[in-house]
Chain A
Amino acid sequence: MTEPTSQAARPTPTDHSATIKASLKRRYRAETRFRWYGRIAIAFGLAAVLVLFVDIISKGHGAFKTTHIAVPVEYDLAQLGVRDLNDNQQLALADWDALFKSGLRELLPDVSGRSARRELYRMVSNGAGYDLKDRLQANPRLANQREQVWLSADDDIDTYFKGLLDGDPYTARVTEQQIEWIDELRSAGQIRTQWNRNFWTRGDSREPEQAGIWGAVMGSLFTLAITFALSFPIGVSAAIYLEEFAPRNRFTDFIEININNLAAVPSIIFGLLGLAIFINFFGVPRSIPILGGLVLTLMTLPTIIITSRAAIKAVPPSIREAALGMGASKHQVVLHHVLPLAMPGMLTGAIIGMAQALGETAPLLMIGMVAFIVDIPQAFTDPATVLPVQIFLWADSPERAFVEKTSAAIMVLLGFLIIMNTTAVWIRKRLERRW
């Protein structure tokens, strides 16, 4: 190779080769290092997913089972002071706790002394009396009969017993005596864990063993129904307007800026809006699903509008032109052709928006959906709480047994979210057309 003579100051190509060769080792080390940074970052992210799920599942799986104690019960109406099973006042006044108390004494006859007995009675849930009342009311033929009933144990007993089964009992909240009794019951086969029905069928309670998520699930359902009923039609309409009809002017630009910004406004701000406008100005009652639905509608609208617009954009202009060429009006083109073709994409967006709304907590705290509500909501106007808020409430509760409940409720919530997201993916895969 001929070297340009004018460039005498510059090194020759062979010199370059040497320089480059010398630098290669260092540069390849940097390359390997860089690659490893990437691998470590991804491993960190994936590990976070794994740890999160394993942590929740390991904490929560126990809540689906609960400890029950077999107690002999005699429904002695005379002792209860009940003459007529249909008289609610008599039923309300009766001492139902006496039923299981005598049963427990029968079960462990050696227990004597007031404090020891009180400890014994504390082994079963203090809702057990009401459970027995409900049982008798549902089946009046049990009156004056004897039977063995599996009563749910108190949450501390439950925690201890389940820990015992796993070989790692938590003893801080049970007494020595109770541990002895549990051993006795265990060898007699009078204590066991069984499917936790309360968790699936009840509302909130201060007693962990009585608390369930059904109230919150219904609340979430009502709230989401309102959210969907409002946000989907409004969001789709807005998207249609912006994509198909809006003139290019400042007003339209302003709408778009607003939508984009609202999509990134912190959710808690929507809670403030709900509190100031809906509750204080319009006088909507607190804590009801309608109110929650209104707030969540405003929050999810930007998501739905943005995804719906993308779906409309994906419909090729040739279809619009074909329909316009047939003499259809612009509205007919949109309603008859564009909308059906864009529907799968819009539905996908709506489901993703609903999943967001289902997991949202902060704005609902502002509008009173954080109240302690035992009754299961039956209508859109009943005070209610929702799943994530229920999780928040339980996470805040001091009882150790609520940790398990909280994790289990999280599993239920994540289950719903997984179902919704897979449905969205499925719709997109099956129904969406590729042009």
Chain B
Amino acid sequence: MAINNDRPIPTQSVGAQFHDNARMSMRDVNIFYGDKQAIFDVSLDIGQNEVMAMIGPSGCGKSTFLRSLNRMNDTIEGCRVVGDIAMDGQDLYDSKLDVVELRARVGMVFQKPNPFPKSIYDNVAYGPKIHGLAESRVDLDEIVESSLRKASLWNEVKDRLHQPGTGLSGGQQQRLCIARAIAVNPEVILMDEPCSALDPIATAKIEELIEELSENFTIAIVTHSMQQAARVSHRTAYFHLGRLIEVNPTEQVFTMPEHELTEGYITGRFG
């Protein structure tokens, strides 16, 4: 492949990195695992009520980047973030910032559905309970119902709310995890390849759901599947070897990519 030789990986990203109505903004973000650097100088905005897709070859650092947005990488030994990541102007890595509060505002859905070994009801009620968001039992019931409705799961589970969440099918479990995340009414939802463990039908349901959710939430989604990015997102960011290569409206990325690396990836020449 000639691309790498002709044009070295750029230090500057191309495209529309910035957004007028930014919900989260990252400036010159570098992420390290011990001595190894995983992310190089990424600057990016995620706009209000926007669905931002992050694509790129395996190991390009997109999941690492996503996890840094609600500081889930704190749980990884030796992981260090340099640069500014801010939400509504507040620095996420400020020592005064509270991760608990942050994570309540920035929810996350994982690659593999990970319902707690509790009932469906308790799974959804978990967040409101620990944060003390429900004043009463009635309140809690209401939150659970509306979250399940928003995750389009209510009709399937309303008769068995008190059965274990682990008994649901894979797609249902993932929607349960989404319901769990939105039960605390976060502002941003991060999704780390939410459909990679699901079958096509379940995937279609989740994608549909993402579209509905984008009315109320800002969503950042990491995905392996370019089709999925094309279907659900407003803007797409392409990552390559830890660098952000290109960010542009999704339609543009998939029809006339600005950068050769992006083009190479979406046309299937590598990845």
A, B co-complexed: yes
B231 within 8 A of A: no
A89 within 8 A of B: no
- Whether A19 contacts B133 by the Cβ 8 Å rule is yes
- Whether A16 contacts B104 by the Cβ 8 Å rule is yes
**Which residues does chain B contribute within 8 Å of A19, judged by CB atoms?**
131-133
**Which residues does chain A contribute within 8 Å of B130, judged by CB atoms?**
27
A335 within 8 A of B: no
Minimal beta-carbon separation of B98 from chain A (angstroms): 6
The listed residue (A2, A10, A11, A23) touching B215 by CB distance below 8 A is A2
- Whether B132 contacts A10 by the Cβ 8 Å rule is no
Which residues between 127 and 153 of chain B lie within 8 Å of chain A, taking CB atoms?
130-133, 142-143, 146
**Closest chain A residue to B142 by CB distance?**
A9
Task: Produce 1/0 per residue, B189-215, CB < 8 A to A.
Answer: 000000000000000000000000001
The listed residue (B101, B133, B218) touching A21 by CB distance below 8 A is B101
B58 within 8 A of A: no
**Which residues does chain B contribute within 8 Å of A2, judged by CB atoms?**
49, 215-216
Q: In the complex, what distance in Å separates the CA atom of A27 from the CA atom of B105?
A: 17
Q: In the complex, what distance in Å separates the CA atom of A1 from the CA atom of B24?
A: 13
**Which residues does chain B contribute within 8 Å of A1, judged by CB atoms?**
48-49, 187, 216, 218
Dominant secondary structure of chain A at its interface with chain B? helix
**Which residues does chain B contribute within 8 Å of A11, judged by CB atoms?**
133, 185
Count of inter-chain pairs, beta carbons less than 8 A: 50
Which residues between 1 and 37 of chain A lie within 8 Å of chain B, taking CB atoms?
1-4, 7, 9-11, 13, 16-17, 19-24, 27
The listed residue (A10, A17, A22, A24) touching B105 by CB distance below 8 A is A17
Task: Produce 1/0 per residue, B149-176, CB < 8 A to A.
Answer: 0000000000000000000000000000
Number of interface residues of B (CB under 8 A): 21
Which residues between 399 and 426 of chain A lie within 8 Å of chain B, taking CB atoms?
none
The listed residue (B49, B100, B132, B185) touching A13 by CB distance below 8 A is B185
**Which residues does chain B contribute within 8 Å of A13, judged by CB atoms?**
105, 185-187
**Which residues does chain B contribute within 8 Å of A17, judged by CB atoms?**
101, 104-105
Q: In the complex, what distance in Å separates the CA atom of A9 from the CA atom of B136?
A: 13
- Whether B143 contacts A16 by the Cβ 8 Å rule is no
B44 within 8 A of A: no
Minimal beta-carbon separation of A33 from chain B (angstroms): 16
B232 within 8 A of A: no
B266 within 8 A of A: no
- Whether A10 contacts B146 by the Cβ 8 Å rule is yes
B184 within 8 A of A: yes
Which of A7, A16, A21 is the most central at the interface, judged by chain B CB atoms within 10 Å of its CB? A16
Q: In the complex, what distance in Å separates the CA atom of A117 from the CA atom of B130?
A: 83
- Whether A20 contacts B215 by the Cβ 8 Å rule is no
**Which residues does chain B contribute within 8 Å of A4, judged by CB atoms?**
215-216
| A-B residue pairs in contact (CB < 8 Å), sample of 28 | A1-B187, A2-B49, A3-B216, A4-B215, A4-B216, A7-B146, A9-B142, A10-B142, A10-B143, A13-B185, A13-B186, A13-B187, A16-B131, A16-B133, A17-B104, A17-B105, A19-B131, A19-B132, A19-B133, A20-B101, A20-B104, A20-B131, A21-B98, A21-B101, A22-B132, A23-B131, A24-B98, A27-B100
Q: 4 closest Cβ contacts across the A-B interface?
A: A23-B132, A20-B131, A20-B104, A4-B216
Given contacts A9-B142, A17-B104, A19-B132, 9 further A-B contacts (CB under 8 A): A1-B49, A4-B216, A10-B142, A10-B146, A20-B101, A20-B132, A23-B132, A24-B100, A24-B101
